[in-house]
Amino acid sequence: MSECTSFRVGGKVDYLAFPEGPEDLQRILEWCGQQGIPTFILGNGTNLLVRDGGIRGMAISLSRGFLRVEEVECGPEGSLVLAEAGQSLGKLVEFSWKKGLAGLEFAAGIPGSVGGALFMNAGAFRGEIKDVLDSVRLMEASGLVLERRREERKFFYRSMGLEKGEIILGGKFRLKAENGQAVKNRIEEIMRQRMSKQPYDLPSAGSVFKNPPQGPAGKLIEEAGLKGHHIGDAQISEKHANFIVNRGQARAQNILALIELARKKVYQEKGVWLEMEIQVIGEE
C-alpha cells in the first residue's frame, strides 16, 4: 500500500482492484460478498494512513475508470458540472476556471480525488465541498446506483455522513459564471499561500487533525513545542505543525507514535483532545 498512498507507507493488501465503471464495481462487490471478503474504497490514497500490517480484504480504487468531468447544464448564470469520483480534485478545479466558472477556488491545492473530497466534505479558505454540491451519485451495498440531492444528505465538518455500504461514484456541482482569468487569479493566490505555509516537498497526507474550536490544530501543536519533532523518519513538519511528513523511510508505526505524542502533549498543555482528520486502517 506504500505505492498507493500519499504517505508512502503501509503494508500489503490481499487484493487490489481498478473497476472501469459501475458494472465492474458491481461485479467486484458481488464476488467479494460471495467469498466473504471485506472491501475498502481507496480513492487516490490521500488523507489515509495504512498500518504496517496492511489490509485484509479488497482495496478498490476508482482512479482508472471514474474520470469523467463535463458540463451537463449550461446557462447565463452558471453551469452544472458532473465530476466522477476517481478524477483528481485538482483537475476539477482546473476545468472550472477554464470554463469560466467560479465556486471551487477554495479547493485549489487540496490533494486527492473528487470522491475523497466528497467523503471528507473537504474544505479550506472558508469554503467546503457541500457549499457547491448539487447532488451526489452513490452505489449502495446491493449494487443499486442512485442520485441524492445535497439537501437529502447530512454534512458535517470533514464528513459527508455516508451510510454503511454506500460508495461515492461522483457528484454534480453548481458553479457560477465568471471571467475565467479572474477565477484563475484567485486560484493562483490560494496556491501561493499554500506553498508558503505547507510542506509539498515530502510525502504526507495533508492535515492530520481537525481544527478544534480553540484554534488551528497546527498552532496548538507548535505551542506544545513539537514542531520539527521526529520519530524515525516521520516528522512533524517544520513548516506546518499539523502535517506529518515522511523523510524517506518512515513506517506507519512512526507516524502513529507522533500522532499520539501530539495528542497527549496538546491535551496536557491546552486541555484539548485533537480529533483525527486522516483515516487510519489496516493491521499492526
CATH number of the structural domain spanning residue 234: 3.90.78.10
State how many domains the chain has.
3
Based on the fold, state whether residues 147 and 119 are members of the same structural domain.
yes
Based on the fold, state whether residues 54 and 26 are members of the same structural domain.
yes
Is position 74 within any domain? yes
Residue 163 pLDDT: 86
Based on the fold, state whether residues 84 and 135 are members of the same structural domain.
yes
Based on the fold, state whether residues 261 and 244 are members of the same structural domain.
yes
Residue 46 pLDDT: 87
For residue 72, report the phi and psi dihedrals to the nearest 5 degrees: -110, -15
> Is 158 a catalytic site residue?
yes
Is position 35 within any domain? yes
> Is 88 a catalytic site residue?
no
Based on the fold, state whether residues 179 and 116 are members of the same structural domain.
yes
For residue 161, report the phi and psi dihedrals to the nearest 5 degrees: 70, 50
pTM of the model: 0.88
Q: Which of 105, 128, 222, 277 is catalytic?
A: 277
Based on the fold, state whether residues 35 and 142 are members of the same structural domain.
no
Q: Which of 158, 174, 251, 263 is catalytic?
A: 158
Residue 43 pLDDT: 79
Based on the fold, state whether residues 151 and 175 are members of the same structural domain.
yes
Residue 157 pLDDT: 85
Q: Domain boundary at 197, 226, 255, which?
A: 197
Is position 103 within any domain? yes
Based on the fold, state whether residues 34 and 82 are members of the same structural domain.
no
Based on the fold, state whether residues 182 and 98 are members of the same structural domain.
yes
Instruction: Tell me the mean pLDDT per 10 residues along the chain, length 284.
Output: 95 96 95 95 89 97 94 93 96 97 95 93 92 96 92 88 91 97 96 91 94 96 97 97 97 98 97 95 94
Is position 38 within any domain? yes
Based on the fold, state whether residues 133 and 180 are members of the same structural domain.
yes
The domain in which residue 253 lies consists of: 217-281
CATH code of the domain in which 46 resides: 3.30.43.10
Residue 276 pLDDT: 95
Residue 45 pLDDT: 86
> Is 207 a catalytic site residue?
yes
Q: Which of 2, 135, 204, 207 is catalytic?
A: 207
